[in-house]
Structure 1
Amino acid sequence: MLLSTDTFLAPGPAPERLWLNRFAGLGPTFYSHVAAAPLRDPYWVARSDALARDLGLPADWATPEALQALAGNTVLPGSVPLASVYSGHQFGVWAGQLGDGRALLLGEVQTPSGASLEVQLKGAGLTPYSRMGDGRAVLRSSVREFLCSEAMHGLGIPTTRALCVVGSDQPVRREEIETAAIVTRTAPSFIRFGHFEHFSHGGDHDALRQLADFVIDHFYPDARSAANPYAALLEAVTRRTAAMVAQWQAVGFTHGVMNTDNMSILGLTVDYGPFQFLDGFDPNHIGNHSDHQGRYTYARQPQIAHWNLFALGQALLPLIGDHDTAMAALEPYKTALPAELDARFAAKLGFAQASAPVNAVVNALLQLMAAERTDFTIAWRTLARHLAGAPADTVQALFHDRAAIDRILLQLQELPAQVGVRPDADLALKSNPAFILRNYLGEQAIALAKQKDFSMVQDLLTVLERPFDEHPAHAAWAGFPPEWADHIQISCSS
């Protein structure tokens, strides 16, 4: 049985609190047992009460014993921490063996809903896969991952979650001396495309088959009855990935480092490093300062996801059996991605179904926004408010080309006659967030956190958990970013 969350993080000896980790059952070919490196004098930085409730934790779960456990200083009864091995393509180049260089899988818990979630400590110290790194995470990157994980969940986008950040004054060297932190994060599974690439490229097809069977049995059971279960697995992952990327595009999210080792086999957003929500709409914006070739721009994300799926298909080819069958399993991406995109953007205009006339208005608006670098989130939210009754001049005021936006607003007025249904203002408001995790907000929260003031981190979390609501006390966070925000540079070390 899995660890029951009514005893999760509870202190004291108890055989009933054993962690039975399904991933660990795959055997040592897939991981190394690793003890977390002690974190000196840890303290709470931030906690997600929403995730704690989902995990079934009691209201008073954040005990001194829990703090020590999630700092990696004590081992929870029955937990045997491990780091998994994988490989991958980084910036389109085969990088060979990678692996969990700073993340330790503690085990698996069963939530009150019946779902099971793996629990990881990210930043818990050296592992056999750390390469030249120190295995640590810093406060800056940990706060960013914590906030964005929960922000994406609030937006309804598939993602890993973050329970808490534990900090320490222990120094860590990056471009400058920073302080250490650990994020406790959860997911049904942290298996990546790179896990399959590792065993396929290494010629260990028995391990490859074992891993694929594990994923099918636990996460894609419908694939088992298919004529070719491994091709069915590839097709299912293809469809999930298409849906996830379409959701990214619809909120102006750029991942920043879509390497194959950062792609979840479950279609989850994973590994928040140089991510960014667009301010001014520039489809070719490079959000990752380390991305010198512009591989991971907003506009290229759908193409890169397809490229990564092709790499996964190559890895699964020894199991699928022939190239044509593998390519057929990837083919649905070409229709699923556009369909998902059309549906997401139609909803942003208040239409439950996409159509050619709706697509025309969406495309015209995006082209005008790109030409003028209009703020992506504010433009769409203002348009949703207009559909709910706000005057047209609130939208017009966002654009310099008055004639162009007037034409678009006229097209919008004419849509009901063309498609036979009026836009649903409530759908538009629920599809266009008022609040996103803008880079400058993250920077401000991090600056305060470095001074041991964690209030803005928690306040941001409260707002980002419900991004479609109005939060009058924090209305400024839904406004335009300051000019200095344009100069923020985020790299892979972030």
Structure 2
Amino acid sequence: MIAYTKKHNVLRFENSYLDLPDKFYQHIAPTPVNKPEILLLNTDLAAELGLNLQTLTTDKITAIFSGNHVPKGTQPIALAYAGHQFGHFVPQLGDGRAILLGEIIDIHGKRRDIQLKGSGRTQFSRRGDGRAALGPVLREYIISEAMQALGITTTRSLAVIKSGELVRRETLLPGAVLTRVASSHIRIGTFEYFAARQDVAALKLLADYAIDRHYPDAKHAANPYLYLLKAVIQAQAYLVAKWMQVGFIHGVMNTDNTSITGETIDYGPCAFMDTYDPNTVYSSIDYYGRYAYANQPPIAQWNIGSLIECLLFMLAFEEDQAKQTKAELIQLFQTAYQEHWLNNMASKLGLSQPSTVDLPLIQEFLRLMRTNKADYTLSFYYLRPAIDAAADSKDLKNLLGQEPGLETWLKAWRARLSQENQNKLQTVAIMAAANPVFIPRNHRVEQAIKAAVEHNDLSLAKRLISVLSRPYVEQPENYEYMLPPSPGEEVLQTFCGT
């Protein structure tokens, strides 16, 4: 548990991962930076974590979250893992620019990792410099906190520290360190790391650790490892269905970027879709669209298949039974995902009791959006007033066109709503809870990053963070933030930043 100690004026961390053998990690301290400056501090998250930062000076906070001061008793480590990157297996990846300071117990009694990204080279850095540029760090802070506000399970961002150093990417850029908070940093790639080495003992230790930390009910199951797999499958199916609900595109769904906790992790070239197109890709490195918006569910299933392969031998089944079990687990993901997706999309239409008969209604609305190149978020936002046939649906018609198809669909939708045991106010409430007014529009994120990187101006970033902290709330004073980009403002590519 973390605690503030007046005598030493330090923070103290636990690190349960150290109970595992040394081959799971490297002991290494963060590399100090030249002139750290705190740019963003998430005080709400700090309070949730139980951190009494008021007892520390700004200089001390900056020193800790930049990696320049390692609190007494802290044993920082870089974690080992492998991963399938764009379908190709890399047997050793690991934390090449991130160092885990340790764990805390938050105010809810939940164990949370505290990690510094951009904190220097480790044995897993390969040819990298171990540093991070300010732009990608700000992107992760803005979007991860927006995801939290949207109600999507995610890693969180506690602080952004400008390093006072330059990092070389295509050009020289200001460096930064991000303090990331996660339930843990165990990935599917962590299991793949030991499976590739045929290290059965390590796989069992890792699985037991994951059960103890994240899925303790598995210990009471007839087959704890089968329970673990099913729990991870359910968490991933739920997560990806939420991504699809709000138009989020992760961009690099490699197995090393897939957390077993069902948290969104590793915000690289991620983006939110403006114009609806299931084939949308933003990532500059996704040349063939492997991680396009519509491909996220099958890729999540593919990643789950990799985890199953790692642990299948631990289920103690005969070969034929093992094959059948894998097929059943894959089917479990498909079934769970489809159920979550249907519920999410039905909620966007105001339906509280969806069934598979609603699929054509949902799919036809998506078709109308795609045909008319309509904005994904605004289409659902402008749908809300159209519950009433007498209401002015001008905004919706401007997006989806004047074709008869829209009127036909609206009549079918209203007829379906009439079958629900709810009044119009209840329908509006369901839609309002499922459809954000504000998302991290790519052009707004880029504007905020550019102002901070090129002009040392954080005002746009801070305003954007504030707007996105209430995504489902009408904010008339921030009307422009709900609008898609105008011609010339579109951001068609995002970059990994590593």
1:103 to 98, 105, 113: 98
| Structure 1 residues 199 and 416: alpha-carbon distance in aligned structure 2, compared to 1, 3 A threshold | same
Query: Which piece of structure 1 moves more, 87-96 or 43-52?
Result: 43-52
Deviations 1:72-95 (A, max 9, x none): 111012211110000010001111
Deviations 1:377-426 (A, max 9, x none): 11111113444896322311212243121112111211134445456101
| Structure 1 residues 396 and 11: alpha-carbon distance in aligned structure 2, compared to 1, 3 A threshold | farther
Deviations 1:129-174 (A, max 9, x none): 0111111110000000001110000000000000111113311000
For the 8 Å contact 1:87–1:97, the answer to whether it is kept is yes
Please, what is the CA RMSD of the aligned residues?
1.8
Name the aligned partner's letter for residue 438 of structure 1: R
Q: 2:474 aligned with 1:470, yes or no?
A: yes
Name the aligned partner's letter for residue 102 of structure 2: G
Separation in 2 of the partners of 1:209 and 1:152? 33
Query: Which piece of structure 1 moves more, 212-221 or 382-391?
Result: 382-391
For the 8 Å contact 1:439–1:485, the answer to whether it is kept is no
| Structure 1 residues 102 and 358: alpha-carbon distance in aligned structure 2, compared to 1, 3 A threshold | same
Name the aligned partner's letter for residue 456 of structure 1: L
2:438 to 431, 435, 439: 435
For the 8 Å contact 2:443–2:491, the answer to whether it is kept is no
| Structure 1 residues 62 and 444: alpha-carbon distance in aligned structure 2, compared to 1, 3 A threshold | farther
| Structure 1 residues 467 and 487: alpha-carbon distance in aligned structure 2, compared to 1, 3 A threshold | closer
Q: CA deviation at 1:38?
A: 1.1
Residue 447 of structure 1 is matched in structure 2 by: 450
Residue 219 of structure 1 is matched in structure 2 by: 214
Separation in 2 of the partners of 1:172 and 1:59? 29
Residue 127 of structure 1 is matched in structure 2 by: 122
Residue 319 of structure 2 is matched in structure 1 by: none
| Alignment TM-score, normalising by the size of structure 2 | 0.94
Q: CA deviation at 1:481?
A: 1.0
Separation in 2 of the partners of 1:399 and 1:249? 20
Identity within the alignment, %? 39
Q: CA deviation at 1:49?
A: 2.4
For the 8 Å contact 1:231–1:325, the answer to whether it is kept is no
For the 8 Å contact 1:232–1:329, the answer to whether it is kept is no
Separation in 2 of the partners of 1:11 and 1:132? 41
Query: Which piece of structure 1 moves more, 317-326 or 279-288?
Result: 317-326
Separation in 2 of the partners of 1:328 and 1:412? 35
Residue 411 of structure 2 is matched in structure 1 by: 410
Residue 24 of structure 1 is matched in structure 2 by: 18
1:82 to 65, 71, 77: 77
Q: 2:40 aligned with 1:46, yes or no?
A: yes
Segments of 5+ residues of structure 1 without an aligned counterpart are: none
Query: Which piece of structure 1 moves more, 55-64 or 299-308?
Result: 55-64
Separation in 2 of the partners of 1:272 and 1:385? 34
For the 8 Å contact 2:33–2:164, the answer to whether it is kept is no
For the 8 Å contact 1:313–1:326, the answer to whether it is kept is yes
Secondary structure of 2:415's match? Answer: helix
Name the aligned partner's letter for residue 38 of structure 2: W
For the 8 Å contact 2:350–2:417, the answer to whether it is kept is no
Name the aligned partner's letter for residue 294 of structure 1: G
For the 8 Å contact 2:83–2:89, the answer to whether it is kept is yes
Name the aligned partner's letter for residue 377 of structure 1: T
Name the aligned partner's letter for residue 381 of structure 2: R
Q: 2:74 aligned with 1:73, yes or no?
A: no
Name the aligned partner's letter for residue 485 of structure 2: P
Q: CA deviation at 1:279?
A: 0.5
Q: 2:255 aligned with 1:260, yes or no?
A: yes
Separation in 2 of the partners of 1:422 and 1:416? 9
Deviations 1:91-121 (A, max 9, x none): 0111111001111100111111211211000
Secondary structure of 2:477's match? Answer: helix
Residue 350 of structure 1 is matched in structure 2 by: 350
